[in-house]
Amino acid sequence: MIEFITIPGVILIIGAAVISLFSERVRPVLFLLFPIIAALVIITRPEGYTVNGSLLNYELVLMQTDSLSNLFGIVFALGALVAGIYAFHMKELGQQISALAYAGGALGVVYAGDLLTLIIYWEIMALASTWLIWARRTPETDASGMRYLIYHILGGGLLFAGILWHSVVEGSILIEAIPMEYTPANILMLLGVAVNTAIIPLHTWLSDAYPKATHTGTIFMSIFTTKTAVYVLIRMFAGWELLIFFGAAMAVYGIYYAVICKDMREILSYHIISQVGYMVCAVGIGTDLALNGAAAHAYNNILYKSLMFMAVTAVMYSAGSSKMFHLGGLYKKLPWVLGLYVVGGLSISGIPLFAGFISKGMVIDAAGYGGHETIMLVLLVASVGTWLSVGLKLPYFTWFDKEEFNGELKPIPVNMYIAMGLLAFACIFYGVFPTALYTFLPFETGYEPYTVYHVVEITQIALLTFVAFWFLRKKLAPELTTVLDLDWFYRKAAPSVRALFVTRVDNFYDRVEDGILALADYLSKKFKNPMLWLNPFTDKRNEASRYSPSMEVVMSFIILSFLVFAIVYLV
């Protein structure tokens, strides 16, 4: 029992239940306590530690540790902690419970040793995270949250179907590397994981929902869902070549939208797709260096992507809008937020001395030296796009462009600054001391990030991209637009589908119901007093209750009998 409740995922899910018992003053502190306990458990458990259980005839591995799970586990626990600090001022119980349960689900997936345990935590993540969208309580977010939930129920269903099929065919539910065979079970599982990885064209839930979630909800969402899925890909689908092409396509697709979009949270959401593309591509390459790169890039991405989301959310919290059209000229009023954002921007763009440099180069090199030079160039195109979109365009039109921001600014709570400061420190720390991360990677590769070639490569790209951006910046000026994506097909199709399967069916049943009621009405009127039509000669005003058979009725029967006899006789 004690082993069960010290599983990191379970600790956070218990935490989600426990915090509901306390007042809103205590809750934010308690919220932080549970990720700390989970992190301590992760640090103290040796590699190879397992907790077993059973369900019906299945032997479950509820927890299993190794270097890969610990790498993701520790960054998820710390991510939940820092996001909790960022959300310290937020008192809403529903969001606190769902955020902690969501983080618990992610940690549960990371330490799950079998597929049934995995799918349970997988679904907890989907359900808990949906509330972070619905909690904004607007018609737009209600609809978006529903689309998000349906998408994840579909993804979870595909994964579960694959797991069941796999368990029947293979006779095992243990999580292990799957050989590259396109069997129905493997395809179903891969599709299920692909939904959460936001592999195009299954990515639209992300770009639809993340920009609409609550202020603090987006931070949690940017940390867990896609990275958990990347973890599962590394664990189960390493070396599946199909992923190389999908990953490279994601990297460029996300970049295009990040260049096109004009809303800060939309830009960063699309950029998640691009960054996850690097990881998916690395998983597809499947070499030790590539898998190390995927894991390290996921780790770093959680640091700098959540830092960037926190910075733009702080701007949104303060200035009241996430649309760059309404912003600009904030550098004098929110200089610290700019500084912290820039640390994230330099990190994600892979600039030397920042965290992204030590992991992105690993993925790009793994492609270049793994016989995929074209893919390497595609990833370099995505690097240019990253620097252009989130490194230059977003901060330029948010903090600069105009002389000064004219609107009212709300003060930013200090806890937000503390959270961003911690992440910015981590981004610089890992950039300067890469071995602090490399030591914990699953494979020993001897990769050296700070070579003259790497530094010259990225510096030249960054410098000349900046020059080109400076010449072209007016072309990227913000405007108020909706940017269509593949979700157009189901969002625009929704009214027609609803018309066909709901409204028309409803109308048909309405008409049938009206017809039956009209018939019932007619018949009840007719049969209310049958004597009226049995005896057409009677007074129409006669009522059944007061009617007594009279001579007319007797005469009617005599004539009727006569007619019947006459007909029979004649025939």
Partner 1 sequence: MKNIHWIILGIIFIVTLALEFTVLAGYDSHWWNAIPAFYAIFGFVICYALVYSAKFIAKKIVNRDINYYD
- Run of H or E residues at 569: helix 551-570
By CB under 8 A, tell whether 480 contacts partner 1: yes
How near is the Cβ of 49 to partner 1 at its closest, in Å? 41
Give the residue, chosen from 55, 484, 534, 563, that forms a contact with partner 1 under the rule CB under 8 A.
484
Shortest CB 298 distance to partner 1, Å: 25
Q: Which stretch binds partner 1 (CB under 8 A): 18-26, 178-186, 289-297, 460-468?
A: 460-468
Q: Which tokens belong to 405?
A: 């921001």
Q: Which is nearer to partner 1, 190 or 382 (CB)?
A: 382
Closest distance of CB 483 from partner 1, Å: 5
Residues 384-403 that bind partner 1 (CB under 8 A): 384-385, 388
Tell me the backbone φ, ψ of residue 198, rounded to 5 degrees: 60, 35
Shortest Cβ distance from residue 405 to partner 1 (Å)? 20
Looking at 26, 169, 381, 520, which residue binds partner 1 (CB under 8 A)?
A: 381
CA–CA gap between residue 16 and residue 27 (Å, rounded)? 10
Query: What type of residue is 26?
Result: V
Residues 254-293 binding partner 1 (CB under 8 A) are 255-256, 259-260
Total binding residues for partner 1 by CB under 8 A? 42
| Residue 544 in contact with partner 1, rule: CB under 8 A | no
Question: Does position 174 bind partner 1 by CB under 8 A?
Answer: no
Q: Are 269 and 207 in contact (CB under 8 A)?
A: yes
Q: Which stretch binds partner 1 (CB under 8 A): 105-113, 177-185, 440-448, 473-481?
A: 473-481
Contacts to partner 1 from residues 490-509, by CB under 8 A: 491
Handedness of CA 393, 396, 401, 402 (dihedral sign): positive
Contact between 446 and partner 1 by CB under 8 A: the answer reads no
Q: Is 410 in the site for partner 1 (CB under 8 A)?
A: no
For residues 352 to 371, the per-residue mask of contacts with partner 1, x marking binding by CB under 8 A and - elsewhere, is ----------------xx--
**Chain-centroid distance, C-alpha 91:** 23
Helix (H) or strand (E) holding 378, with range, is helix 373-386
DSSP label of 453: H
Task: Output the smallest distance, CB 342 to partner 1, in A.
Answer: 15
* Of residues 441, 290, 308, the one with CA closest to residue 361: 290
Residue 30, burial from CB neighbour count under 10 angstroms (0-12, 13-18, 19+): middle
**Whole-angstrom Cα distance, residue 267 to residue 269?**
5
- Please report, in angstroms and rounded to a whole number, the separation of the first and last CA atoms in the chain: 95
Quote the tokens at residue 75.
């960054």
Interface contacts to partner 1, rule CB under 8 A: 255-256, 259-260, 368-369, 373, 376-377, 380-381, 384-385, 388, 452-453, 455-470, 472, 475-476, 480-485, 491
